[in-house]
Amino acid sequence: MTVTLNGRSQAIQTGERLIDLFNRCEIEVPHVCYHPQLGPIQTCDTCMVEVDGKLVRACGTIAAQGMNVVTSSPRADAAQREAFDRILGNHMLYCTVCDNNNGNCTVHNTTKLLHVEHQKIPFKTKPYEVDMSNPFYRYDPDQCILCGRCVQACQTLEVNETLTINWEDPHPRVLWDGGAPIGESSCVSCGHCVTVCPCNALMEKSMLGEAGYMTALAKPALDGMIDIVKGIEPEIGYGPILQLSEMESHMRESRTRKTKTVCTYCGVGCSFNIWTKDRHVLKVEPSEGAANGVSTCIKGKFGWDYVNSPDRLTKPLIREGDTFRQASWDEALDLVARRFAEIKAATGPDSLAFISSSKCTNEESYLMQKLARAVIGTNNMDNCSRYCQAPATTGLFRTVGYGGDSGSISDMEKAGLVLIVGSNTAESHPVIATRVKRAHKMHGQKLIVADLRENEMAERADVFFRPRPGTDLIWLSAMTRYIFDNGLADQQFIDQWVNQAAEYKKSLDLFTLEMASERCGLPIETLTTVARMIAEAKGVCVLWAMGVTQHSMGSDTSTAISNLLLATGNYMKPGTGAYPLRGHNNVQGASDHGAMPNYFPGYQEVADPAIRSKFEKAWNVSLPPHPGLDNHMMIEAIHEGKLKAMYVFGEEMSLVDSNANFVGDALSKLDFFVMQEIFFSETCRFADVILPATPSLEKEGTFTSTERRIQRLYEVFEPLDGSRPDWIIIQDIANRLGAGWKYEHPSQIYEEVAALTPLMAGVTYERLEGYKTLQWPVAADGSDQPLLYTKQFNFPDGKATFYPVPWSEPTDQQDAEYDLHLNNGRLLEHFHEGNMTYRTEGIREKTPCTFVEVSPELAGERGIQTGSWVQLTSRYGKVRAQAVITARVQGKELYMPMNSTEEPVNRLTSSHTDKATHTPAYKETSVQLRVLGQVGDDPLPGTNSRHGHPTPQRGVEVERKWKRQDYHQPGDHLVQIQTR
Ligand code: SF4
Ligand code: SF4
Ligand code: SF4
Ligand code: FES
């Protein structure tokens, strides 16, 4: 298809917007409100062009065959100028003293593009104060041009539905919850609105007074300068004034660094540029990350204060009795190497164990497992996927062959139906949640949520049901049986692609609807409705997390999910598949890179002689043939006296492993314990040597996110004086033990990984440069697989396998003494126990402590109110917390988030585990509750977003602006004048 564009024939793409066509052809047309990731908002009117003689908005017009498009006719030009003049009436140009004068301000750049010399509509202030009530950003109504990008982002991309514009008001402005202070609204501080604001109306507070050379001036001085500029503008025009501000903007370039990094919190894998001035974080700017685009959550956008916290460890510490003394790096490293060698000589290599960090890079996990295997000679090597994701990996290994998400986040967006099981996605994987919320709200995707708790996704779902704890396997299997029994299965897909159908169908005999209804506490109608929705949907993605995996049947329930997907043909196509949502930023990568007791990197079995011999040759050592101990077995082995020494980095083991008291007892029994950390964590208390490491912003390397996406991170800051990147520390220890490693840069480590690991054969730093990414498996030629299983499943015959799974009773059941079920998990604002996030003051202000959610029924029965102090006691320990009464939980269900180092929920959890993987059954915990008598304030302060009242609408609703008496489309009156 072609159009005539400014007199020349131009090919167009199907569905292409005129504004995108202009940008592609590098034809400059102003467009202030348009943002490709938000779609057309049509509020600013600056993109007016002529199409077949009529003025249209280029952002709202799809190019069509034969159109005659003129971008700079006198009419279009006049309309663009008129529209932009109205914008300047809403925005005072004081660029030279503006913190947004960084070369990317849309208002500044459009003033320049249109060569605006004088503004016809004078700037008028609006009758509102600047709102500073959010800890992270501020809104200045006077500078707001009412483009509505922020509203569109909040309503249709983040879908938090906080923002609107009161178009009918004489003085429209952006409103939070219809008119609340930002800090008391439902705003979750995700930062979408701030990121997409085209000017300085919404700004990160960390930028204010910091970004510019003259922006830190006191307000009277600043106002004086602005007045001077405004005074001379009528005489000299904007040209020279803009030139001055551009000089100032160029000067900023020399001191503002913009470095690409990848978020260090959850497994979504958001990437962004971090703007810094010396060691000050000016802002986080997401734009082109493959997983997130402009999206972030509060942690990725604003949670970086921990990096410069005064609590950072900067000196190695060595235990002396009950205290620690500072030591030099040489002394500490010599001691570690000497004690490791002594213990290995005395009690053998298997008396040492190593735990890698899911917060650290792939290269660091690779080196840690190489240290364990090649230098010490043990496979006692694990990472925290043992605490969460190992069961999901097992379920996928059993059925489809790879232990990773079977597609990408974009597939979740495309699916006709998303089923979420045991995942608080909106809080634990916030940016993935935005994609599902957007598809559901804007594109008619169906959403089904199965959870004990009515979390945000459950509130939004088309169907939400609450199975009894630990019974997911039953309803999943019963639905699959119902699908088979009623001819709803995808028989063609099964015949072509799935083995063991007959055996599997037989294994479902037990799972009748009646049995499922009774055991799960669900109406039969719910089961059949959901089964039919799944069978009939155009593409199903199942998202699950720790509500499934942290059970004694975690692997089997994950398997049941994959069986259901196979039965309904929901693999091998875009918009389908299995998505276990990985918790940490690099928990996928830690396992992928060999931090596991039974696998070398790329899931190559340590027990396979051919594989072992490949690594022996490459590393020039002989390697132990038997799989090692996993995390759980390590703790048992310490208690049994078999394990003498441990080396753990970046893992708050004593709080995040279950049955924390038991784990703490074990750690205190070790002969020698090395912790490598950025802070003196709770686990450090048990250590003999503590080595100060660096966080992700102070090193290079790669992370692998939940969608198997490998991404590079670059050094934002130099390592804080005294601390060292983990890969350097691990190498120093290995070399003191005679390893002779010579890695000078993480890229050299990755070259070795790629050479030894077929799954990563084509991964190179060049192919990952900047924002480029690869989703494994990556072939030697660099081709990757965003959608797994396009040609076959990962089994020798290329077929998947139905895998029968039985059901057994959950562990740690309720009885007369321990009569309540305790569920636990994450919170939006904090990551796990909060070692990093509590160090951001704004986060602490919004969510200062842990709490326990109590249902209104139970609260009534026991006389509990929000703020009441209660004590929870399990068979393993006790904690105290304040209650929050909420219908999110029901009946005898309690929920406690993990955000506490003082009263960690894992003092209550047991040592029961998933049978296949030893993942702790965190979610199978029974407790008794004692009301302590004192009642304090609500542990969630008034500034927490939960107290807000969102105002949903379908976007910015520009039609309401167009209905205003004083609105006319720019250029209209010109047409009339000409006609006359
Ligand atoms: S939730 Fe808050 S920070 Fe996020 S887009 Fe909405 S108003 Fe902005
Ligand atoms: S605050 Fe919102 S409406 Fe105002 S200029 Fe920024 S993005 Fe546009
Ligand atoms: S915590 Fe997760 S969702 Fe939030 S910015 Fe980081 S990677 Fe993205
Ligand atoms: S860019 Fe088209 S109306 Fe704003």
Separation of CA 136 and ligand 4 centre (Å): 28
Q: Largest Cα–Cα distance of the chain, in whole Å?
A: 102
Which-ligand-closest: CA of 30? Answer: 4
* Cβ of 190 below 6 Å from ligand 1: yes
* Ligand 1, atom 8, residue with closest C-alpha: 193
pLDDT at position 219, please? 84
Which ligand is in closest contact with the Cα of 431? 3
Task: State residue 975's pLDDT score.
Answer: 41
Phi (first) and psi of residue 326, to 5 degrees: -75, 150
Round to whole Å and give the CA distance between 82 and 293. 32
Which residue's C-alpha comes closest to atom 6 of ligand 1? 154
Q: In whole angstroms, how far apart are CA 249 and each of 61, 108, 109?
A: 34, 11, 12
Q: How far is the CA of 441 from the centre of ligand 1 (A)?
A: 17
Q: Dihedral through CA 607, CA 545, CA 657, CA 519, nearest 10?
A: -100
Dihedral (Cα; 929, 935, 941, 947), 10-degree rounding: 70
The finding on whether 187 has its CB within 6 A of some atom of ligand 1 is yes
Say if ligand 1 is within 6 A of residue 158 CB.
Answer: yes
The torsion angles phi and psi of 913, rounded to 5 degrees, stand at -140, 165
For ligand 3, the distance from its centroid to the CA atom of residue 245, given in whole angstroms, is 35
Q: Whose CA is nearest to atom 2 of ligand 1?
A: 187
Pocket test for ligand 3, best of 190, 264, 299 (most atoms within 8 A of CB): 299
Terminal CA-CA length for the chain = 37
* Residue 466 in tokens: 């609450």
201: CA distance to ligand 2 center in Å? 6
DSSP helix/strand/coil, 4: strand
- Going by C-alpha positions, the residue among 340, 394, 407, 346 that lies closest to residue 371 is 340
Determine if ligand 2 sits within 6 Å of the CB of residue 207.
no
CA of 827 to the centre of ligand 3 (A): 12
Nearest listed ligand to the Cα of residue 199: 2
List phi, psi (to 5°) of 399.
-105, -40
Number of H helices, E strands in the chain: 33, 37
pLDDT of residue 973: 55
Spatial CA neighbour of 386 closest among 607, 632, 100, 625: 632
Does ligand 1 have an atom closer than 6 angstroms to the CB of 426?
no
Strands 645-649, 672-677: pairing is parallel
Type and span of the H or E element at 558: helix 554-567
Identity of the amino acid at 447 = L
Q: How far is the CA of 955 from the centre of ligand 2 (A)?
A: 13
What span, in angstroms and rounded, lies between the C-alpha atoms of 369 and 371? 5
* Nearest ligand 1 atom, CA 187: 2
Q: Which bound ligand lies closest to the C-alpha atom of 137? A: 1
Q: Is 150 in the pocket of ligand 2 (CB under 6 A)?
A: yes
Tell me, using a 6 A CB cutoff, whether residue 555 lines ligand 4: no
Tell me, using a 6 A CB cutoff, whether residue 92 lines ligand 2. no
Cβ pair 153, 293 in contact under 8 A: no
Ligand 2 touching residue 174 (CB < 6 A): yes
The CA distance from 55 to 528, in Å, is 53
Residue owning the nearest CA to atom 1 of ligand 4 = 31
Cα–Cα separations (whole angstroms), residue 109 to 77, 105, 114, 170, 249 = 16, 6, 9, 28, 12
Who contacts 403 (Cβ-Cβ below 8 Å, separation ≥6)? 392, 393, 394, 396, 397, 591, 603
Helix (H) or strand (E) holding 502: helix 501-507
Rounded to the nearest angstrom, the distance between the alpha carbon of 13 and the centre of ligand 2 is 30
**Residue to mutate (ligand 4; options 42, 151, 152, 969; most atoms within 8 A of CB):** 42
Residue 346 and residue 546 in contact, taking contact as beta carbons nearer than 8 Å: no
Which of 528, 419, 515, 531 shows the shortest CA–CA distance to 468? Answer: 515
User: Which residue's C-alpha comes closest to atom 7 of ligand 2?
Assistant: 197
Alpha helices, DSSP H only, in 864-966? 958-962
27 C-alpha to center of ligand 1: Å? 33
Question: Which tokens sit at 93?
Answer: 């140009």
| Alpha carbons 148 and 42: distance in angstroms, whole number | 9
- As given in the structure block, the two tokens for residue 66 are 């034969």
Whose tokens are 């001085």? That residue is: 221
- Residue 277 sits at the vertex; the CA angle it makes with 271 and 282, to the nearest 5 degrees, is 50
Looking at the CA of 265, which ligand is closest?
A: 3
How far apart are the C-alpha atoms of 64 and 181, rounded to whole Å?
A: 45
Q: Which residues contact 22 (CB under 8 A, 6 or more apart)?
A: 28, 29, 58, 71
| Ligand 3 atom at shortest distance from the alpha carbon of 291 | 8
The residue contributing the CA closest to ligand 1 atom 7 is: 187
Ligand nearest to the CA of 155: 1
* 528 phi-psi bin (left φ>0, alpha ψ -120 to 50, beta other): alpha
Write down the pTM of the prediction. Answer: 0.96
- Cα 620 to chain centroid distance, Å, stands at 40
Single-letter amino acid, residue 956:
V
**Cα–Cα distances in angstroms (integers) from residue 611 to residues 381, 402, 605, 769, in the given order:** 17, 18, 7, 30
Pocket of ligand 4 contains residue 18 by CB under 6 Å: no
Binding pocket residue ranges, ligand 3, CB within 6 Å:
263, 265-266, 268-270, 292, 296-297, 299-300, 430-431
Cα-to-centroid distance, 636 and ligand 3 (Å): 34
Q: Which ligand is nearest to the CA of 183?
A: 1
Task: Pull the structure tokens for residue 627.
Answer: 């799989």
pLDDT along the chain (980 residues), means of 10: 95 96 96 97 96 94 95 94 95 90 94 90 93 98 97 98 98 98 98 98 97 90 84 85 91 96 98 98 98 98 98 98 97 98 98 96 98 98 90 96 96 98 98 98 98 98 97 98 98 98 97 98 98 98 95 95 98 98 94 97 98 98 97 96 97 91 96 98 97 98 98 98 98 98 98 98 98 98 97 97 95 96 96 94 97 98 98 97 98 96 94 92 96 95 97 97 94 45
Q: Are 938 and 884 in contact (CB under 8 A)?
A: yes
Among the bound ligands, the one closest to the CA of 87:
2
Long-range CB pairs of 323-328, under 8 A, 24+ apart, other chains included: 324/690
- Match 């055996």 to its residue by tokens: 503
